[in-house]
Amino acid sequence: MSPERIGVYVCHCGSNIAATVDVEEVALWASEELGDRGVVVARDYQFMCSSLGQELIEADIKEQGLTRVVVAACSPHLHERTFRTACKRAGLNPFLCELVSIREQVSWVHTDRAAATEKAMAVVSGGVERVTLHQPLEPLHVPIHPATLIVGGGIAGIQAALEIADSGYPVYLVEREPSIGGHMAQFDKTFPTLDCSACILTPKMVDVGGHPNVTLLTWSEVERVDGYVGSFTVTVRKKARYVDESVCTGCGICTEKCPVRVLDNTYEAGLGYRKAVYRPFAQAVPKYPVIDRENCTYFQRGKCKACQLFCPTHPKAIDFEQKDEILQFQVGNIILATGYDLFDCRRIPQYGYARLANVFTSLEFERLCNAAGPTGGKIVLRDGVTEPATVGIIHCVGSRDHNYNPYCSNICCMQSLKFGHLVKERTGAEVFNFYIDIRTAFKDYDEFYQRVLEDGVHFVRGRVAEVTDAARLPGEEGKLIIQVEDTLLGKQRRIPVDMVVLSAALQPRQDSTEVAYTFGIACSANGWFIEKHPKLDPVATMTEGIFIAGACQGPKDIPASVAQGAAAAARVLGRIHQKELALEPVRASIIAERCSGCRICNNLCPFNAISYDTARMITEINPALCQGCGTCVAACPSGAITGTQFSNEQVLAQLYGLLLLNVSSGPVQQPQPALVPA
């Protein structure tokens, strides 16, 4: 006889479970057949998760002196906390409650009622065997350091930084480019309101740059993250700028005097030039320039120093001797807002990018429209002077295509509509938009579509087959011909244009998997960072204390990125206010005497919780970093690692309950000693 007094509660979940499983039968069976395993009460109830259902458990704990509780209902993902909390209210340690799933694992995946009922009994039996071996556990309390690291100074990172800094807490904002601002700083106008992008972005950049609570680290990259939620130790490489920030006034004379012209593939998207000592754009924050070592004549050939010669400060702000700095600091939480890369349009040769001069990418076109861009905002062909009379804008370039990226890039429809409007407004040219579907689902977006229709922009429903300069018909000579099926007509059309704009896909940063590894979070197959829950927890990750915001989680426009930046900040602020965090005590731990120091588990841990003690030659687990996933437990060849709440004994007991106490497989057998390890 079991020494425990166990209560079993079988949920109907309306008809979700009850339609397929005879829940009354399961409860009756448990009370009759599992009595000698410790079950003293078994009930079924329509909604166990309701207040009345929970009260039922609480009353039994108090009145019947239950020492263990098994609830057979939905997945632990949903209501484990509900029932643990109910037990706690009634004075029972919450980890003495076990939730077994008879919905996701039984009623939703079976149709045969008799078999499903039998399986539900087996599942309940497994739960009963397991819960008997549960230990009362106490949550781990970790203090939360009040500082936050934000990686990426685009609009999402800026928003998050301001929210946290304005609340009075310190922020480290790390950006790998010489200035914050991100992609938004490259744009001219923003949809759907056509606000000037710089006009709404730069005030925020200035706020961040001058904020007393923000430590701005541009031209810097995170090299290492150690520790765990509440106390991460961050190592940042601050790359040498070769400019002394304490002296530099940002006057720009160095840039003016620099003799080297460099193609600017970052800020100008390859459409313009900068100098070897440069500030990416006029409103850059911080204002200090940076010397691009690869292209600097002095660094490459040992001669020049024009920038230093003409620098008007005393002492000179240009410092060729500057070295990279390694900084280390503590933070309690981290927000990743690392943004996206643009799809390389050369991968679709039939669209002619890099072969046909007047095919432009969307980012090139943004620079073309921008008053601060290489043409001063004039929309012209690659020759720099000719205004186009017809422009074709191709949607879904590299998106919604299994050959490249299967997903929808979210922003391209609105961006293409915006381009159409700008072309009309500035050149009066004829504009054709080639689309598969027009997706304008957010506030005031479809209204913008209406406006562009009123502008007289043409819409052709069809994914473009090819862009060619091979004229076939009169009128095509000297033009770019867009060949497409107009699917609403069911006819192939060839539309000659002067300029083609490719609305290119948004892709994960090319180093996103390495970044994910550094921070111990997961990437989807596409390379986007994975959120904890796609609907209910969109800015948290599976790693405690690491949050994500903006396009690094998936293609996103400015409003959505800002919302996520603010949301991540709110989550972090909530943590900081609690001052300490209660972590679930489901953890792996190492039995030191059994560890052979083989280190097999060391690289398997997805949360970087395992380290190796070289002095004692054994492996150690940091309980605050460990998320209790069990990977190391399964991998250890010496059986030296055990998981609280997932010990071998507990798991084997559950299997034993599932397999051996099956109702119809004959008389109940006694536990086989061979199955239960000593």
Partner 1 sequence: MSAKYGYYPGCSLERNAIAYHQSAVAVAPVLDIEFVELDDWNCCGATEYIAIDVLPAYALVARNLAIASRQKLSGGNQNQVVAPCSACFLNLSKVDKYMSDAPRLAANVNTALAAGGLSYKPGSVRVRHLLDIVVNDVGYDAIAAKVQKPLYGLRIAPYYGCLIVRPGFQGAFDDPEYPMSLDRLMGTLGTTVVDFPVKAHCCGGHMTQISEQVALELIRQLLQNAAEYEADAIVTLCPMCQLNLDGYQEAVNRHYGTKYHIPILYFTQLMGLAFGLPAATLGFGKEFVDAAAALNKIGVQPPPKPKKERAGKEALPMPEMAAGGLSHES
Partner 2 sequence: MVAQRSAAGPAPGAFMDEVIAATPGGASHLELCVQCGTCGGSCPSGPDMEHTPRHLFAMIRAGMKEEVLRSNTPWYCVSCYYCMVRCPQEIHITDIMYTLKRMAIKEGLYRESSAADAPDFSETFIDFVNNYGRSFELGLATRYHLRHHPLTAVRKAGMGLGMVRKGRMDLTPKRINGIEQLQAILAKARELGAEDGAISQGGRQ
- The contact set with partner 1 (CB under 8 A) reads 263, 270-273, 346, 348-350, 353-355, 357, 374-375, 380, 382-385, 468-472
How far, in Å, CA of 76 to CA of 11, rounded? Answer: 13
x/- mask, partner 2, residues 374-413, rule CB under 8 A, reads ----------------------x---xxxx----------
| CB closer to partner 1, 472 vs 533 | 472
> In this structure, which amino acid lies at residue 481?
I
Min dist. Cβ of residue 420 to partner 2 (A): 20
Per the CB < 8 A criterion, the answer to whether 583 and 575 are in contact is no
| CB closer to partner 1, 250 vs 377 | 377
Binding residues among 530-569 for partner 2 as defined by CB under 8 A = none
DSSP E strands, 231-378: 231-238, 261-264, 272-275, 277-278, 290-291, 325-331, 333-336, 340-342, 359-361
Supply 19's token pair.
């339609």
| CB closer to partner 1, 158 vs 502 | 502
x/- mask, partner 2, residues 465-504, rule CB under 8 A, reads xx----------------xxxxx--xxx------------
Per the CB < 8 A criterion, the answer to whether 640 and 556 are in contact is no
127, interface contact from partner 2, partner 1, none, CB < 5-8 Å by kind:
none
Min dist. Cβ of residue 383 to partner 1 (A): 5
| CB closer to partner 2, 100 vs 396 | 396
Min dist. Cβ of residue 437 to partner 2 (A): 8
464 binds partner 2 (CB under 8 A): yes
Per the CB < 8 A criterion, the answer to whether 83 and 89 are in contact is no
491, interface contact from partner 2, partner 1, none, CB < 5-8 Å by kind:
partner 2
Q: How far is CA 66 from the centre of its chain?
A: 43
How far, in Å, CA of 43 to CA of 253, rounded? Answer: 82
589 binds partner 2 (CB under 8 A): no
| CB closer to partner 1, 315 vs 376 | 376
Residue of 60, 6, 67, 63 whose CA lies nearest to 33: 6
Min dist. Cβ of residue 496 to partner 1 (A): 14
- List of residues 6+ apart from 553 with CB closer than 8 A: 528, 529, 530, 531, 538, 539, 564
110 binds partner 2 (CB under 8 A): no
584 binds partner 2 (CB under 8 A): no
Min dist. Cβ of residue 344 to partner 1 (A): 8
> In this structure, which amino acid lies at residue 325?
E
Supply 547's token pair.
């949050």
Q: Using the 8-state DSSP alphabet, how is residue 523 labeled?
A: B
| CB closer to partner 1, 375 vs 631 | 375
Beta-strand relationship, 618-621 and 610-613: antiparallel
273, interface contact from partner 1, partner 2, none, CB < 5-8 Å by kind:
partner 1
| CB closer to partner 2, 193 vs 403 | 403
How far, in Å, CA of 133 to CA of 547, rounded? Answer: 36
18 binds partner 2 (CB under 8 A): no
Among 388, 462, 508, 565, binds partner 2 (CB under 8 A): 462
How far, in Å, CA of 34 to CA of 48, rounded? Answer: 21
| CB closer to partner 1, 422 vs 595 | 422
229 HSE (CA, 13 A, CB side): 29
526 binds partner 2 (CB under 8 A): no
Min dist. Cβ of residue 84 to partner 1 (A): 50
| Angle at the Cα of 541 from the Cα atoms of 537 and 546, rounded to 5 degrees | 120
Among 350, 526, 578, 648, binds partner 2 (CB under 8 A): 350
Helix (H, G, I), strand (E, B) or coil at 345: helix
**Rounded to whole angstroms, what are the CA distances from 25 to 12, 112, 116, 628?**
12, 15, 12, 35
Residue of 48, 205, 31, 52 whose CA lies nearest to 124: 31
- Interacting residue ranges for partner 2, rule: CB under 8 A: 350, 396, 400-403, 436, 461-466, 483-487, 490-492
